[in-house]
Structure 1
Amino acid sequence: MMTQAVRTPWHLWVVGGVALLINAFPVADFTLTNMQNEFWLSPLTAAQRSFILGAPLWADICWAVGGFGAFIGSLLLLMRSRHAVTAFIFSIIGLAGSTLYQHVLQGETTRELFQNVALYVTLTIWVIILALLIYARVMGAKGVLR
Protein backbone atom coordinates (compact mmCIF):
# COMPACT_ATOMS: atom_id res chain seq x y z
CA MET A 1 0.00 0.00 0.00
CA MET A 2 1.46 3.36 -1.05
CA THR A 3 0.74 6.62 0.67
CA GLN A 4 1.02 9.87 -1.16
CA ALA A 5 3.62 12.26 0.25
CA VAL A 6 2.27 15.61 1.39
CA ARG A 7 4.24 18.58 0.11
CA THR A 8 5.47 21.03 2.68
CA PRO A 9 3.74 24.36 2.10
CA TRP A 10 6.03 27.37 1.77
CA HIS A 11 4.36 29.11 4.69
CA LEU A 12 5.50 26.39 7.11
CA TRP A 13 9.10 27.51 6.57
CA VAL A 14 8.16 31.16 7.06
CA VAL A 15 6.02 30.56 10.15
CA GLY A 16 8.52 28.10 11.63
CA GLY A 17 11.51 30.35 10.96
CA VAL A 18 9.89 33.47 12.37
CA ALA A 19 8.60 31.48 15.36
CA LEU A 20 12.08 30.12 16.02
CA LEU A 21 13.56 33.62 15.99
CA ILE A 22 10.82 35.03 18.23
CA ASN A 23 10.98 32.11 20.66
CA ALA A 24 14.76 32.29 20.98
CA PHE A 25 14.20 35.42 23.08
CA PRO A 26 12.50 33.74 26.07
CA VAL A 27 15.24 31.09 26.11
CA ALA A 28 17.93 33.79 26.17
CA ASP A 29 15.95 35.85 28.69
CA PHE A 30 15.49 32.95 31.09
CA THR A 31 19.09 31.78 30.79
CA LEU A 32 20.76 35.18 31.11
CA THR A 33 18.45 36.32 33.90
CA ASN A 34 19.04 33.20 35.96
CA MET A 35 22.78 33.46 35.36
CA GLN A 36 22.38 37.03 36.65
CA ASN A 37 24.22 38.39 33.64
CA GLU A 38 24.99 42.02 34.46
CA PHE A 39 24.68 43.25 30.87
CA TRP A 40 21.26 41.62 30.50
CA LEU A 41 19.93 42.90 33.81
CA SER A 42 21.46 46.40 33.56
CA PRO A 43 18.29 48.12 32.24
CA LEU A 44 16.35 47.02 35.34
CA THR A 45 15.99 48.98 38.56
CA ALA A 46 17.02 47.36 41.83
CA ALA A 47 13.36 46.75 42.71
CA GLN A 48 12.66 45.13 39.33
CA ARG A 49 15.72 42.88 39.68
CA SER A 50 14.71 41.88 43.17
CA PHE A 51 11.19 41.02 42.01
CA ILE A 52 12.36 38.92 39.06
CA LEU A 53 15.20 37.15 40.86
CA GLY A 54 13.04 36.61 43.95
CA ALA A 55 10.32 34.66 42.15
CA PRO A 56 9.47 31.30 43.70
CA LEU A 57 10.86 28.14 42.14
CA TRP A 58 7.50 27.08 40.70
CA ALA A 59 7.20 30.40 38.83
CA ASP A 60 10.72 29.98 37.42
CA ILE A 61 9.84 26.44 36.32
CA CYS A 62 6.73 27.77 34.57
CA TRP A 63 8.84 30.45 32.88
CA ALA A 64 11.33 27.82 31.68
CA VAL A 65 8.63 25.41 30.46
CA GLY A 66 6.85 28.23 28.64
CA GLY A 67 9.91 29.64 26.92
CA PHE A 68 11.76 26.43 26.12
CA GLY A 69 8.49 24.73 25.12
CA ALA A 70 7.80 27.43 22.54
CA PHE A 71 11.35 27.26 21.19
CA ILE A 72 11.32 23.47 20.95
CA GLY A 73 7.85 23.59 19.40
CA SER A 74 9.18 25.95 16.74
CA LEU A 75 12.11 23.63 16.02
CA LEU A 76 9.76 20.64 15.79
CA LEU A 77 7.49 22.59 13.46
CA LEU A 78 10.44 23.18 11.12
CA MET A 79 11.26 19.49 11.37
CA ARG A 80 7.65 18.73 10.42
CA SER A 81 7.14 16.75 13.60
CA ARG A 82 3.67 16.20 15.01
CA HIS A 83 5.25 16.62 18.46
CA ALA A 84 5.31 20.38 17.83
CA VAL A 85 1.70 20.42 19.02
CA THR A 86 2.69 18.81 22.33
CA ALA A 87 5.57 21.24 22.82
CA PHE A 88 3.26 24.21 22.23
CA ILE A 89 0.77 22.77 24.74
CA PHE A 90 3.55 22.54 27.34
CA SER A 91 4.48 26.11 26.49
CA ILE A 92 0.90 27.23 27.13
CA ILE A 93 0.89 25.43 30.49
CA GLY A 94 4.10 27.25 31.44
CA LEU A 95 2.71 30.56 30.23
CA ALA A 96 -0.45 30.00 32.28
CA GLY A 97 1.66 29.51 35.40
CA SER A 98 3.77 32.58 34.66
CA THR A 99 0.65 34.64 34.03
CA LEU A 100 -0.87 33.41 37.28
CA TYR A 101 2.20 34.46 39.24
CA GLN A 102 2.85 37.81 37.53
CA HIS A 103 -0.65 39.12 36.95
CA VAL A 104 -2.82 37.43 39.57
CA LEU A 105 -0.77 36.58 42.65
CA GLN A 106 1.70 39.47 42.20
CA GLY A 107 -0.43 41.68 39.97
CA GLU A 108 -0.19 44.84 42.04
CA THR A 109 3.59 44.59 42.35
CA THR A 110 3.96 43.79 38.63
CA ARG A 111 1.88 46.85 37.68
CA GLU A 112 3.80 49.04 40.12
CA LEU A 113 7.21 47.94 38.81
CA PHE A 114 6.47 47.54 35.09
CA GLN A 115 3.28 49.59 34.56
CA ASN A 116 1.06 48.14 31.82
CA VAL A 117 4.01 47.00 29.70
CA ALA A 118 4.10 43.59 31.42
CA LEU A 119 0.40 43.07 30.70
CA TYR A 120 0.75 44.00 27.02
CA VAL A 121 3.79 41.74 26.62
CA THR A 122 1.95 38.84 28.26
CA LEU A 123 -1.12 39.34 26.05
CA THR A 124 1.09 39.42 22.95
CA ILE A 125 2.79 36.19 24.02
CA TRP A 126 -0.61 34.54 24.54
CA VAL A 127 -1.74 35.54 21.04
CA ILE A 128 1.48 34.25 19.45
CA ILE A 129 1.57 30.91 21.26
CA LEU A 130 -2.12 30.20 20.68
CA ALA A 131 -1.70 31.04 16.98
CA LEU A 132 1.30 28.68 16.78
CA LEU A 133 -0.67 25.89 18.47
CA ILE A 134 -3.59 26.33 16.08
CA TYR A 135 -1.23 26.46 13.10
CA ALA A 136 0.58 23.29 14.20
CA ARG A 137 -2.73 21.47 14.74
CA VAL A 138 -3.95 22.48 11.27
CA MET A 139 -0.67 21.36 9.68
CA GLY A 140 -0.95 18.08 11.58
CA ALA A 141 -4.51 17.55 10.41
CA LYS A 142 -3.46 18.16 6.79
CA GLY A 143 -0.73 15.54 7.12
CA VAL A 144 2.14 18.00 6.82
CA LEU A 145 3.49 17.07 10.25
CA ARG A 146 4.54 13.46 10.74
Structure 2
Amino acid sequence: MTEVRKTPWHLWVVGVVSLLWNAVGAFDYTMTKLQNADYLAAFTPEQQAWFASFPIWANIGWALGVWGSLLGSALLLARSRHAVTAFLISIVGLAISCIYQFGMHYADLTRMFGSFPLIFTGLIWAILIALFLYARRQAATGVLR
Protein backbone atom coordinates (compact mmCIF):
# COMPACT_ATOMS: atom_id res chain seq x y z
CA MET A 1 0.00 0.00 0.00
CA THR A 2 1.35 3.43 -0.97
CA GLU A 3 1.69 5.95 1.81
CA VAL A 4 -0.02 9.26 1.07
CA ARG A 5 2.01 12.17 2.40
CA LYS A 6 0.39 15.29 3.76
CA THR A 7 0.78 18.30 1.47
CA PRO A 8 3.46 20.58 2.94
CA TRP A 9 2.58 24.24 3.29
CA HIS A 10 5.44 25.29 1.01
CA LEU A 11 3.95 23.38 -1.93
CA TRP A 12 0.92 25.68 -1.84
CA VAL A 13 3.14 28.77 -1.66
CA VAL A 14 5.44 27.64 -4.47
CA GLY A 15 2.50 26.42 -6.53
CA VAL A 16 0.41 29.59 -6.26
CA VAL A 17 3.33 32.02 -6.70
CA SER A 18 4.68 30.05 -9.68
CA LEU A 19 1.21 29.85 -11.23
CA LEU A 20 0.85 33.64 -10.99
CA TRP A 21 4.39 34.15 -12.37
CA ASN A 22 3.76 31.80 -15.28
CA ALA A 23 0.33 33.30 -15.96
CA VAL A 24 2.09 36.60 -16.69
CA GLY A 25 4.27 34.80 -19.25
CA ALA A 26 1.21 33.15 -20.78
CA PHE A 27 -0.53 36.53 -20.99
CA ASP A 28 2.52 38.06 -22.70
CA TYR A 29 2.72 35.19 -25.17
CA THR A 30 -1.01 35.34 -25.95
CA MET A 31 -1.14 39.11 -26.42
CA THR A 32 1.97 39.05 -28.61
CA LYS A 33 0.75 36.18 -30.79
CA LEU A 34 -2.71 37.73 -31.14
CA GLN A 35 -0.99 41.00 -32.04
CA ASN A 36 -3.08 42.91 -29.50
CA ALA A 37 -2.59 46.56 -30.43
CA ASP A 38 -3.05 47.91 -26.91
CA TYR A 39 -0.52 45.47 -25.48
CA LEU A 40 2.02 45.96 -28.27
CA ALA A 41 1.74 49.77 -28.07
CA ALA A 42 4.52 49.66 -25.47
CA PHE A 43 6.91 48.46 -28.21
CA THR A 44 8.32 50.30 -31.20
CA PRO A 45 7.25 49.22 -34.69
CA GLU A 46 10.70 47.67 -35.16
CA GLN A 47 10.36 45.65 -31.96
CA GLN A 48 6.87 44.52 -32.96
CA ALA A 49 8.16 43.42 -36.36
CA TRP A 50 10.95 41.49 -34.65
CA PHE A 51 8.45 39.53 -32.52
CA ALA A 52 6.35 38.80 -35.61
CA SER A 53 9.38 37.57 -37.56
CA PHE A 54 10.17 34.59 -35.32
CA PRO A 55 10.44 31.41 -37.40
CA ILE A 56 8.07 28.56 -36.56
CA TRP A 57 10.70 26.60 -34.61
CA ALA A 58 11.42 29.61 -32.37
CA ASN A 59 7.68 30.10 -31.83
CA ILE A 60 7.36 26.44 -30.89
CA GLY A 61 10.18 26.87 -28.39
CA TRP A 62 8.54 29.96 -26.92
CA ALA A 63 5.19 28.14 -26.68
CA LEU A 64 6.73 25.08 -25.03
CA GLY A 65 8.50 27.29 -22.53
CA VAL A 66 5.44 29.32 -21.61
CA TRP A 67 2.74 26.66 -21.61
CA GLY A 68 5.00 23.97 -20.13
CA SER A 69 5.68 26.20 -17.13
CA LEU A 70 2.04 27.14 -16.67
CA LEU A 71 1.04 23.49 -16.84
CA GLY A 72 3.87 22.54 -14.48
CA SER A 73 2.60 24.99 -11.88
CA ALA A 74 -0.97 23.72 -12.22
CA LEU A 75 0.22 20.12 -11.93
CA LEU A 76 2.28 21.04 -8.88
CA LEU A 77 -0.88 22.35 -7.21
CA ALA A 78 -2.68 19.16 -8.25
CA ARG A 79 0.17 17.20 -6.60
CA SER A 80 0.90 15.40 -9.85
CA ARG A 81 4.34 13.94 -10.52
CA HIS A 82 3.85 15.05 -14.13
CA ALA A 83 4.78 18.57 -13.00
CA VAL A 84 8.40 17.44 -13.32
CA THR A 85 7.90 16.52 -16.98
CA ALA A 86 6.05 19.76 -17.70
CA PHE A 87 8.87 21.84 -16.22
CA LEU A 88 11.42 19.81 -18.18
CA ILE A 89 9.51 20.48 -21.40
CA SER A 90 9.50 24.15 -20.47
CA ILE A 91 13.28 24.09 -20.03
CA VAL A 92 13.66 22.58 -23.51
CA GLY A 93 11.36 25.27 -24.92
CA LEU A 94 13.29 28.05 -23.19
CA ALA A 95 16.55 26.65 -24.56
CA ILE A 96 15.14 26.63 -28.11
CA SER A 97 13.89 30.19 -27.70
CA CYS A 98 17.26 31.32 -26.34
CA ILE A 99 19.11 29.73 -29.26
CA TYR A 100 17.11 31.92 -31.63
CA GLN A 101 17.15 35.12 -29.60
CA PHE A 102 20.63 35.07 -28.10
CA GLY A 103 22.49 32.62 -30.29
CA MET A 104 21.35 33.89 -33.67
CA HIS A 105 20.11 37.46 -33.11
CA TYR A 106 21.92 38.79 -30.05
CA ALA A 107 23.10 41.98 -31.79
CA ASP A 108 19.58 42.83 -33.00
CA LEU A 109 18.10 41.99 -29.61
CA THR A 110 20.49 44.22 -27.66
CA ARG A 111 20.21 47.03 -30.21
CA MET A 112 16.42 47.09 -29.87
CA PHE A 113 15.98 46.22 -26.18
CA GLY A 114 19.31 46.87 -24.46
CA SER A 115 20.50 44.49 -21.76
CA PHE A 116 17.03 43.86 -20.28
CA PRO A 117 16.31 40.62 -22.23
CA LEU A 118 19.57 39.05 -21.10
CA ILE A 119 18.99 39.92 -17.45
CA PHE A 120 15.31 38.94 -17.49
CA THR A 121 15.98 35.67 -19.32
CA GLY A 122 18.62 34.85 -16.70
CA LEU A 123 15.95 35.34 -14.05
CA ILE A 124 13.55 33.12 -15.99
CA TRP A 125 16.22 30.39 -16.23
CA ALA A 126 16.91 30.57 -12.48
CA ILE A 127 13.22 30.35 -11.55
CA LEU A 128 12.48 27.58 -14.04
CA ILE A 129 15.41 25.43 -12.93
CA ALA A 130 14.41 25.98 -9.29
CA LEU A 131 10.82 24.93 -10.08
CA PHE A 132 12.03 21.83 -11.91
CA LEU A 133 14.32 20.83 -9.01
CA TYR A 134 11.59 21.57 -6.48
CA ALA A 135 9.04 19.44 -8.35
CA ARG A 136 11.56 16.64 -8.76
CA ARG A 137 12.31 16.71 -5.02
CA GLN A 138 8.62 16.69 -4.13
CA ALA A 139 8.06 13.74 -6.47
CA ALA A 140 11.00 11.85 -4.95
CA THR A 141 9.70 12.32 -1.43
CA GLY A 142 6.21 11.13 -2.40
CA VAL A 143 4.41 14.47 -2.10
CA LEU A 144 3.59 14.39 -5.81
CA ARG A 145 1.74 11.29 -6.94
Whether these two folds match at TM > 0.5 is yes
**Matching of residues 1-146 of structure 1 within 5 Å:** 2-146=1-145
Structure 1 stretches lacking a partner, 5+ long: none
Shift of 1:26: 1.5
Shift of 1:104: 0.9
Shift of 1:140: 0.5
Give secondary structure in 2 for the equivalent of 1:8.
coil
Q: What is the RMSD computed on CA atoms of the aligned residues? A: 0.7
Question: For 1:3 and 1:35, how far apart are their aligned partners in 2?
Answer: 46
Letter of the aligned partner of 1:110 in structure 2?
A: L
Give secondary structure in 2 for the equivalent of 1:22.
helix
Shift of 1:4: 2.8
Question: For 1:33 and 1:13, how far apart are their aligned partners in 2?
Answer: 30
Question: For 1:38 and 1:52, how far apart are their aligned partners in 2?
Answer: 13
Moved over 4 A (4+): none
Question: For 1:101 and 1:82, how far apart are their aligned partners in 2?
Answer: 31
Question: For 2:3 and 2:68, how far apart are their aligned partners in 1?
Answer: 31
Higher mean C-alpha deviation, range 127-136 or range 23-32: 23-32
Question: For 1:36 and 1:51, how far apart are their aligned partners in 2?
Answer: 12
Letter of the aligned partner of 1:50 in structure 2?
A: A
Question: For 2:25 and 2:58, how far apart are their aligned partners in 1?
Answer: 14
CA offsets per residue over residues 45-91 of structure 1, 9 Å max, x none?
A: 01101111111111111101100000000000000000000000000
Question: For 2:7 and 2:76, how far apart are their aligned partners in 1?
Answer: 11
Question: For 1:134 and 1:88, how far apart are their aligned partners in 2?
Answer: 9
CA offsets per residue over residues 76-128 of structure 1, 9 Å max, x none?
A: 00000000000000000000011111111011100101110000111000000
Give secondary structure in 1 for the equivalent of 2:112.
helix
Letter of the aligned partner of 1:28 in structure 2?
A: F
Question: For 1:49 and 1:83, how far apart are their aligned partners in 2?
Answer: 35
